[in-house]
Amino acid sequence: MRLVAVLLSVLGVALVGVAVLAVPGAFWNGRYVLNGGDYAVANRVFEHPLLLLIAAFVVALLALAAGVRARFVRFGAVGVAVVLALVTAGFAVPLTTGPGPRTGGRTSVDHASPDGRYTATVVRWRKLRGEAWLITVRTNDGLNSREHVVGCLDSDDGHAGLDHVVWAGPSSLRVVRPGGEDSSDIHLDATASPDHQLYRGDVGNCYEP
């Protein structure tokens, strides 16, 4: 049981480390330190630092239960861990480093490329002042899918808003501003990495209220 306790303790520390490193990712052009390959599935994990911390606490309780002999402490630790896990799963804790609150008209729309190789996602929501849009693109390769940020459009930061996005070719995404007179074409490589980003990929405003 001591070996189990040690292994669980190591896992708990690792989860805390991942959670801590995940938080600043929102302000580093949407990239996470531990996801140098820009894998979409890893981004989904790193978007939930609070859940990672809760998981670390649950693992720590299980490590405590495995490392002590007192039945009262053991059963108490397991009981608290189970209750915490069930409550967290039941309420589906919405606190993430993803863009926009989970209320206030937040919408997310996917746009598949003509040949189905890529998907562009536009997340739109209303902030305290004005609206914001976060545009990302990813390859459609299952667990091997790569994901990149195209940019953040924040009407409160002097940026023009967004009218719509449309695929101008198999690997070319067109971002159209209000009125349809101004647009930007984003060309993607095989990993969906854009040839340039709107406003140099600054996404900090898309993660602020």
**If you write DSSP's letter for every residue of 103-165 in order, what string do you get?**
SSS-EEEEEE-TTSSEEEEEEEEE-SSSEEEEEEEEE--GGG-BEEEEEEEEGGGT-----EE
Any domain includes 63: yes
pLDDT given at position 165: 92
Are 44 and 8 in the same domain? Answer: yes
Q: Is the pLDDT of residue 94 over 50?
A: no
Share of the chain above pLDDT 70, in %: 75
Are 132 and 197 in the same domain? Answer: yes
Are 66 and 123 in the same domain? Answer: no
Are 203 and 178 in the same domain? Answer: yes
Closest to 99 in 3D by CA, of 189, 33, 36, 29: 29
pLDDT given at position 114: 94
Cα distances from 169 to residues 112, 165, 174, in angstroms, run 11, 12, 9
Which strand (E) or helix (H) includes residue 85?
A: helix 71-91
Domain span at residue 177 reads 107-207
> Does residue 101 or residue 48 have the better pLDDT?
48
Are 120 and 79 in the same domain? Answer: no
pLDDT given at position 79: 87
For 167, the token pair is 């695929």
Are 80 and 130 in the same domain? Answer: no
* Mean pLDDT over the full length of the chain: 78
pLDDT given at position 113: 95
Whole-number Å distance between alpha carbons of 51 and 48:
5
Residue that terminates a domain, selected from 91, 118, 145: 91
Any domain includes 170: yes
Hey, which of 77-91, 94-108, 180-194 has the most confident mean pLDDT? 180-194
Residue that terminates a domain, selected from 47, 67, 91: 91
Q: Is the pLDDT of residue 102 over 50?
A: no
Are 16 and 49 in the same domain? Answer: yes
Are 55 and 79 in the same domain? Answer: yes
pLDDT given at position 93: 45
Closest to 207 in 3D by CA, of 57, 95, 65, 45: 95
Whole-number Å distance between alpha carbons of 106 and 92:
17
Any domain includes 99: no
> Does residue 75 or residue 209 have the better pLDDT?
75
Any domain includes 155: yes
Are 86 and 116 in the same domain? Answer: no
Residue that terminates a domain, selected from 40, 63, 91: 91
- Dihedral sign for Cα atoms in the order 26, 30, 33, 38: positive
Q: Is the pLDDT of residue 84 over 60?
A: yes
Closest to 206 in 3D by CA, of 141, 122, 138: 122
Any domain includes 26: yes
pLDDT given at position 4: 80
Are 70 and 161 in the same domain? Answer: no
Any domain includes 98: no
Burial tier of 113 (Cβ tally within 10 Å: 0-12, 13-18, 19+): buried
Any domain includes 96: no
Any domain includes 45: yes
Q: In the structure, what pLDDT confidence band is assigned to residue 1 with cuts at 50, 70 and 90? A: low
Domains identified in the chain, total number: 2
Are 14 and 66 in the same domain? Answer: yes
Are 203 and 111 in the same domain? Answer: yes
